[in-house]
Copies of this chain bind each other. A is one copy, B any other.
Amino acid sequence: MASSSSNIDLTGPTFCIVTGSSQGIGKVIAIEFSKLFGPNSVLLLLARKTEELAQTAKLCESDNVKVIYKSIDLSVATEQEMCDIINQALSGHKVTDFTANIIFHNVGSLGNMSIKTSCIENVNEMRSYYDLNVFKVISLNTQFLKLFEEVEDRIIIVNITSLCAVKPMSGMAYYCSGKAAREMYFRVLAEEKKDMIVLNYSPGPVETTMIDVVIDKTVNENLRDVFTTFKKQGTLLKAETTVRKCIKVLVAGKFKSGDHVDFFDDE
């Protein structure tokens, strides 16, 4: 892999947003990354569930890091609401106060697992899925870029993607196609904005409730078998393991902006 323009230093004052940070990988991203941030850093946590968000916030708070959390349903939030929330988190700071501005687009859902791909026809359901997983991700990203326009070369964008963005998996048409669309948007952005750093990080099969949802809901026997075997054999990754790999990838900067980097890729 080619190197990104520079290694990434998160040890200065850092502004960070993590979506979907009430649980799972998002929660662990917030916890692990906040440990790296230098003094006068600000961490903004977004998700729907207030109580769980508050718990994540507690685990991230430190002398260096001020944590702000906000309950929001990103699938229906307006651009103005998104903008206001980031502005509130920034209040008392200038954008130039931070040496790195990083956003983790972690929010995501599996889509309808109870339908065969050959039977998908509900356009409203597709729209809702793409609202949360693609369109609102793009909108939020744009609000972030607008606010930090002045310091564009300090922007780092991490899209939490999946092997499913590049490899089709039976029974997961919503998830695969949504991840493919989302990742491609970030790849095009990386092509246009050469001074930003964009990473599409695929965390591998992680031990989260998502796995149980797949096993429970899928109409696809093959998919159920794969995930059940993963679970039984203990091959699922701990969220901490994959997040630490993500940190390693980012800090080493051994990727080309826009690349898809998988947990299992060679270092």
Contact = CB atoms under 8 A, between A and B. Distances in A.
A193 interface: yes
Contacts of A120: 138-139, 142, 185
A178 interface: yes
Contacts of A173: 184-185, 188-189
A184 B176 contact: yes
A168 B187 contact: yes
A146 B260 CA distance: 36
A134 interface: yes
Interface residues of A, number: 47
A187 B134 CA distance: 19
A130 B123 CA distance: 10
Given A170-B192, A173-B188, A188-B173, A135 B145 contact: no
Nearest to A126: B135
A29 interface: no
A185 B127 contact: no
A138 B142 CA distance: 28
A20 interface: no
Contacts of A190: 168
A91 B211 CA distance: 46
B145 A134 contact: no
A181 B180 CA distance: 6
Nearest to A185: B177
A96 to B, nearest CB: 19
Contact of A118 (B79, B121, B142): B142
A83 to B, nearest CB: 9
A118 B130 contact: no
29 contacts: A79-B123, A116-B192, A117-B185, A117-B188, A117-B189, A118-B189, A119-B146, A120-B185, A123-B131, A123-B135, A123-B136, A123-B139, A126-B138, A127-B127, A127-B135, A134-B177, A134-B181, A169-B191, A170-B191, A171-B188, A172-B188, A173-B184, A173-B185, A173-B189, A176-B185, A176-B187, A177-B180, A180-B180, A180-B181
Interface of A: 79, 116-121, 123, 126-127, 130-131, 134-136, 138-139, 142-143, 145-146, 165, 168-173, 176-185, 187-193, 220, 258
Given A117-B185, A134-B177, A181-B184, 12 more contacts: A118-B145, A121-B138, A121-B142, A168-B258, A169-B188, A169-B191, A176-B184, A176-B188, A177-B180, A177-B185, A178-B181, A179-B184
Top 5 A-B pairs ranked by shortest CB distance? A181-B181, A168-B187, A180-B184, A121-B142, A177-B184
